[in-house]
Amino acid sequence: MSKRMMALGALMISATFTGTVAAQQPGASASQTPQAQQQQQMQQQQMQQLPKASEFSDKQLDAFADAQKDMSGIQQKYSKELQAKKDKPEEAMKVQKEAQEKMVEAVKDSGLELSTYNQIAQLAQYDADFRTRIQEKM
């Protein structure tokens, strides 16, 4: 797998781990269920509330890329531990909590505020040019 694809995968996985919104579903049709239409409207509202890509400095994007690299390692480590604990819900919850704490620590160590990190991750889900800009830094 290419380095760029791994970076994109890490970006998307990170967005999921940090509780960001799901990627917008392509190809919305007129026959969508009301629930799917509502979800799409919510996603559009969330996107409108995000800062513009130009509002993020290169320094912030570099910090985001650094945090992403750390996230990738954390996710690999804790995914294996979660799989091993899948039949023990209480232990799995402890592992998940520890993973989340490590991820928050990685973001803070990068110099970003958690809210800024999440905004960048969310915007990258919607804006392909912005996502490419981030991938080039990884």
Residue 7 in this model has a pLDDT that exceeds 50: no
- 82 vs 25, higher pLDDT: 82
Look up residue 27 and give its DSSP letter. S
pLDDT at position 49 is 75
The upper half-sphere exposure of residue 79, i.e. CA atoms within 13 Å in the direction of its Cβ, equals 10
**CB of 113 closer than 8 Å to CB of 59:** no
Inter-axis angle of helices 89-110 and 58-84, to 10 degrees?
A: 160
DSSP string, 63-131: HHHHHHHHHHHHHHHHHHHHHHTTT-HHHHHHHHHHHHHHHHHHHHHHT--HHHHHHHHHHHHH-HHHH
The upper half-sphere exposure of residue 12, i.e. CA atoms within 13 Å in the direction of its Cβ, equals 13
Global confidence as pTM: 0.65
Share the mean pLDDT of the chain. Answer: 77
- Number of Cβ within 10 Å of residue 29's Cβ equals 6
Summarize pLDDT for 55-110 with one digit per residue, the tens: 899 999 999 999 999 998 999 989 988 888 888 989 989 999 999 999 999 999 99
Q: Which run of H or of E encompasses 29?
A: none
